Structure 1
């Protein structure tokens, strides 16, 4: 994560703090846990402000999650009981508290992460996920399916009547 930009961008700064938090967990509690992928490290990707919260992807050797954190100086998200599923305008996730960071909502993208071979592949996946979550076209309804041509309507002349009604 870019430390210089994180100093001026609160969403990036929160992503950096969360990355540091999980680096500490990796170096202590998760150091030899078999669910960890030894090819991966800890990284925070694509953190940005959205709706008064910071959203981004956190990758660790044991998970890849979309996370949401309250931004400083923004109204906090509504309180929920730990483990409660919440809808935050993006895919649903769980709410939890981190001692040094505060509330972190997260939705698992992958856990465990054995199918990811390198940290570079993990970061590319995270960048694509962030793009997908924030791409406005992803929220547009799909185009209507093309009208099907019914041979009976064609032979009975109904198709011509439908075309005339559409053009008027």
Structure 2
């Protein structure tokens, strides 16, 4: 997050939590993940698009070893119900239902994660990773940016099949 984000974080608890996650994952990268081959050395740690949604902070965390959509309790918010680490949870977002895995992160507490990329070797630069994270945030929280699903194929019932009517439908659509 940039300097402007630090100013906003003083007001917005979701952005502040995003900054805390950045700091915590930087510590993890410098210690537990140092020299681990799964890490992409071209990437750093960043929190993208953090916002309050459903009483929790949601956003994307990018590290040299993963990019996850995360949900965490706000420090002054109502804590979510208990969930055993590793439990799959379904969260309704504007773009639809998303599955998260419940977990715990030292110095943060409960954090639920939805893996987007792991490992993250497909990103040659941090800029490319951040661009992807920004697009993902838009997709999760602004369903208007999603492409409409393809139209379902025309149904063919048994009567049409036996009469050969399905051919006319296929030819008309070509």
Give the TM-score normalised by structure 1.
Answer: 0.82
5+ long unaligned stretches in structure 1: 153-168
The answer for the alignment partner of 1:14 in structure 2 is 17
1:19-168 paired onto structure 2 within 5 Å: 19-89=22-92, 90-137=97-144
Q: Which of structures 1 and 2 has the bigger CA Rg?
A: 1
CA distance in structure 1 between the aligned counterparts of 2:20 and 2:118, rounded to whole angstroms = 22
Structure 1 window deviating more from structure 2 (132-141 vs 104-113): it is: 132-141
CA distance in structure 1 between the aligned counterparts of 2:25 and 2:123, rounded to whole angstroms = 18
Shift in Å, 1:141: 7.7
- Give the 3 Å change call, closer, same or farther, for CA 38–139 of structure 1 in structure 2: closer
Give the TM-score normalised by structure 2.
Answer: 0.79
CA distance in structure 1 between the aligned counterparts of 2:29 and 2:69, rounded to whole angstroms = 18
CA distance in structure 2 between the aligned counterparts of 1:146 and 1:12, rounded to whole angstroms = 44
CA distance in structure 2 between the aligned counterparts of 1:86 and 1:138, rounded to whole angstroms = 25
- Give the 3 Å change call, closer, same or farther, for CA 139–117 of structure 1 in structure 2: closer
CA distance in structure 2 between the aligned counterparts of 1:104 and 1:47, rounded to whole angstroms = 14
Shift in Å, 1:91: 1.5
2:138/2:145 contact within 8 Å kept: no
5+ long unaligned stretches in structure 2: 166-174
CA distance in structure 2 between the aligned counterparts of 1:142 and 1:112, rounded to whole angstroms = 28
CA distance in structure 1 between the aligned counterparts of 2:38 and 2:51, rounded to whole angstroms = 29
CA distance in structure 2 between the aligned counterparts of 1:58 and 1:102, rounded to whole angstroms = 16
- Give the 3 Å change call, closer, same or farther, for CA 88–147 of structure 1 in structure 2: closer
Shift in Å, 1:136: 3.5
